[in-house]
Amino acid sequence: MSSETSAPVRRGRAASVRRWVRRRGWTAGVWLLLLALIGWYTTLIPEFGEFEITSIAKNSLPSVYLALAQGVVVISGGVDLGAGGLMVLSNSTAAALMEGQPPEVTVLIALAVVAGAALLNGFVGWVIAVSRIPDIVVTLATLFIFTGVALMVLPSPGGGTSGQLRYAFTGSTTGIGTNFGPSLIAIAVPTLLFAAWLTRTRTGLSIYAIGSDDHAAYLSGVRVVRAKVTAYATGGGFAGLAGVALTAIANSGDPRFDNAVNGTLNSLAAVVLGGILLGGGVGSVVGAAGAGIIFFTLSPILTAMGIDPNTAQVVRGGVIVAVMVVAGLLQLRRWRTQ
């Protein structure tokens, strides 16, 4: 084959490979790392079967959705510290409303919660775009407000949902089982659809455009305010979905402030490892979703190795710093060579 291919074609192929690596290399690397980690995990525990796959898949759902939520906002050039708060608010609202309701009603409530979260965060995005207050300040305020409202809706952990809704996210009406299909679908379908929407539609690309350079985007005819609102609204929708998933997994709601803060911090960590540049315009939400699962799997792996699972926190922090340092050095080298 090599003897038949002419030099220009070969060069063209090499260039396209290089381009693929540059554009999707990081995302592919994240998912390969996840596969390697899970592969390693299978050697660490005596038995790795459907139960373990189900457990990892369903329990990483909230992290995945929250990574998608944070991802789209960071791509648009912002940062959403309130994402965890919105997840907790959705979790509490869903659990409070769904308890004792028939399956059809719980599904309707789930849809309403996701839509409500999207509307609410869209309004937050509008406030940011119109007032020009830094994203950090506005979403810091919404973190307070959302968790406060969550405590009013559900003063202490409790509530419930229907078995059917639990099945949709966990593959079992009791939340425990070996049916990993629904959880894997719940990870893959929203992630891939969302990524396709972001990179292939006019609206999605406008979110990348304002994150890259909102002034240039404005001059090229992108409606900056609308793109910002769309980014925060879709992010809010996924934060709401994370809350609903949490309700389905735990069969209850938990309004505690810690959950909100941890959710936000983990989502930021996932976005950074996932290859989305803080500052906007670069990266894929698919990578962020993979990174979200990676951070989730660290705890069971360390436990299986007989290491204090609290080390997972240390590893998580160390990985984030290492990624940022490497990314910074690469950027520096690229500038120097250009």
Partner 1 sequence: MTETETSVRDDRAGARPAEAGWAGYLSERPLLVLGAVLALLVVVTVAIEPGYLSVRGVRNTLLLAAPVGILAAAQTVLMLTRGIDISVAMVATLAGYVVGSQAGTGLAYSIVVGLLVGALIGAVNGVGVGVFRVHPLIMTLAMSAILLGLLSQWAPTIFRGVTAVPPFLRTVGGGSFAGHLIPYNALVWAAVAVVVILGLRRSGLGRMIYAVGDNPTAARLAGVREWQVLLVVYAISGLLAAVAGVLIAGQVGSVDLRLAEEFLLPSVAAAVIGGTSLFGGVGSYSGTIFGALILGVLNTMLTFLNATQAMKQVVFGVIVLGLAWAYAAAQRRTG
Residues near partner 1 (CB under 8 A) are 79, 127, 131-134, 136-138, 140-145, 147-152, 155, 257-258, 265, 268-269, 272, 278-279, 308, 310-318, 320-321, 324-325, 328-329, 332
Residue 221: left if φ>0, alpha if ψ -120 to 50, beta else—which one?
A: left
Query: From the CB of 2, what's the least distance to partner 1, in Å?
Result: 42
Query: From the CB of 14, what's the least distance to partner 1, in Å?
Result: 32
Residues 6+ apart with CB under 8 A from 230: 122, 125, 203, 206, 207
Q: What angle do CA 30, 36, 37 make, to 5 degrees?
A: 90
Query: From the CB of 307, what's the least distance to partner 1, in Å?
Result: 10
In terms of CB distance, is 30 or 249 closer to partner 1?
A: 30
DSSP string for 162-188: -HHHHHHHHSSTTS-SS--HHHHHHHH
Query: From the CB of 317, what's the least distance to partner 1, in Å?
Result: 4
In terms of CB distance, is 79 or 168 closer to partner 1?
A: 79
In terms of CB distance, is 45 or 127 closer to partner 1?
A: 127
Neighbours of 205 (CB within 10 A): 15
In terms of CB distance, is 12 or 317 closer to partner 1?
A: 317
Question: How far is Cα 271 from Cα 75, in angstroms, rounded to an integer?
Answer: 10
In terms of CB distance, is 132 or 200 closer to partner 1?
A: 132
Characterize 70-108 residue by residue with b for buried, 16 or more Cβ atoms within 10 angstroms of its Cβ, and e for exposed.
Answer: bbbbbbbbbbbbbbbbbbbbbbbbbbbbbbebebeebbe
Query: From the CB of 308, what's the least distance to partner 1, in Å?
Result: 5
